[in-house]
Amino acid sequence: MALIKCTECSKDISDKATNCINCGAPITAKKEKLIQCAKCGSTELTSQKKGFSGGKALGGAVLTGGVGLLAGTIGSKKINITCLKCGHRFKPGEDKVGKKRKEKKEKKEQEELNKSIRENPGKWLMFIILLGCLLGYCNSCL
């Protein structure tokens, strides 16, 4: 049992009480914040921890030898959450708020890139020409 303050009279009361014993004010219970699927809003979720990846280990071993076997452990401690209702998969902390923050950050980065292009068109034009030459699209460079 823990003591909390009454919102009306500010006296200490039990957290299990439904009404304050001093003033009679009703005690409102705090709602639990449940994790929800960002796609469908369901609370029917399951989580699993990623394990050792044989594919990554094989690829690492082929490229670098025995030490490459350690590549199979990359990402093995990550946790994935799967919605049982719609099958949507996401990482802990990814929710609607996180998604909006990510979209806002991407929009800001795009605006900064557009501003950079407007302020320095010559630099970007030179970059595009060099890229075209490297890819073989420029006839004068061949």
Domain boundaries defined on the chain:
1-28
The pLDDT assigned to 53 comes to 61
Is the pLDDT at 55 greater than 60, yes or no?
Answer: yes
pLDDT 10s digits, 123-133? 777 878 888 77
Is the pLDDT at 98 greater than 60, yes or no?
Answer: no
Burial of 68 (0-12, 13-18, 19+ CB in 10 A): middle
- Confidence category of residue 120, pLDDT binned at 50, 70, 90: confident
Dist CA 85 CA 33 (whole Å): 19
| 66 vs 120, residue with greater confidence | 120
